[in-house]
Amino acid sequence: MTRPAIAVTGLGMITPAGHDTAATWEGVCAGRSLARTVPELRGSTVDFACTVDGIDLDDAVGGRSAFRMGRYVKLALLAAREAVADAGLSPATWDGTRVAVVVGTSSGGAVGLADQAVRLDRRGPEATSPHAVLLTIPNMPAAEIAIEMRATGPSMAPCTACSSGVTALSVARDLLAAGQCDIAVAGATEAIVVPVVMTGFGRSGAAARADGDPALLSRPFAADRAGLVMGEGAAIMVLEREADARSRGARPRALIAGAGATTDAHHPTSPHPSGAIAEAAVRAALRDAGWQAADVEHVNAHGTSTPLNDATEAALISRVYPHGPPVTAPKGVLGHCMGAAGAIEAGLTVLTLQHGVVPPIANLDAPAPEFDINCVTKLPLTHPVERAISHSFGFGGHNAVLALRRA
């Protein structure tokens, strides 16, 4: 059975680069890291991150419901509002029974859980919130979006660590292809910049160590890369079958052509050293799209700025795409937004397809000498792109890949 083409008709983002899609795109194209010292992290093993600043989330969400939402939920809801408006749709007029919501997260309400645990320990049960559960469970972004948008179709909250966003978009695509819905609001969110989480990443050895200016620490594919820098944010897309979108006069931003997923089954945090299982996910996405590897004109890399992950991915890229398509890695600018990273990076890939511009990798003059990959550095590259791939790899060995093409 031939799959229907799935169109991205709406895109919403809120990231360290800005409070909407346009500002995020401008910030990523500027190619400068947004990492800074975070006062609230004083005393933590890691006291720097890329954060969403300059916005009162409670005020932006509005109404009385914000008090029951964790930060990760508010970010998702704001991104979803932008995406739905961008698609030219309105919950007031659509058939909610035919609208699905699929929003992933890696750590969900870890911030809320930590806060409630401190309150319980210091001041007892009466100091905890009656909404403590709502502040912690990972399905709340999907639930709150569904509530506000009167979406009574399927609702899901995938968790595949740092690939959760791509997993969510892939699941939403499958729901549309199977006829389970006509519209899908899908993506991912994350907000875990708090002392206990940051200390955990520091203790694990995954995080970059403080060494001067935090804005210089995230440097994907550099010879002296030294670990990830945490980020936060959300990206949501509105997906529809292309024929349905065009019949209502919508102009798709891009099309999802294929998806692939595998599991390393190797180690909780380290990728399989051969990269073969992640490569299988890439090749599955290519098969699903009906492409040859040589058709790919741009790669949006996972690019965590960690020694092992970047080495494994760089080897994979040079094997799969020997023709050397331009490679970017947004984590240099935005930090690693964890569960939201895949959705944000897929959204940036959509924008590359639309604008014919590949953003540069922050803090990179040239890739490590042993990496045979074509990294975009210093300035954006004007490069018309018809077909692109976005990689996402997560703790637990989760590999998820999207193939996207210009509409």
Domains for the chain: give ranges and CATH numbers: 6-248 (3.40.47.10), 257-406 (3.40.47.10)
Whether the Cβ atoms of residue 264 and residue 220 lie closer than 8 Å to each other: no
Instruction: Give CA–CA dist 129/133, Å, rounded.
Output: 9
Instruction: With a cut of 60, say whether residue 1 has pLDDT above it.
Output: no
| pTM as predicted | 0.96
Residue 235 CA: distances (Å) to CA of 53, 212, 369, 388, 392 = 16, 30, 34, 18, 14
pLDDT band at 12 (very low <50, low <70, confident <90, very high): very high
**Mean pLDDT, residues 308-319 taken together:** 97
Instruction: With a cut of 60, say whether residue 39 has pLDDT above it.
Output: yes
Whether the Cβ atoms of residue 73 and residue 189 lie closer than 8 Å to each other: yes
CB atoms inside a 10 Å sphere around CB 276 = 13
Instruction: Give CA–CA dist 307/222, Å, rounded.
Output: 9
Percent of the chain with pLDDT over 90: 85
Catalytic residues: 162, 302, 336
Q: How many CA atoms lie within 13 A of 70 on its CB side?
A: 32
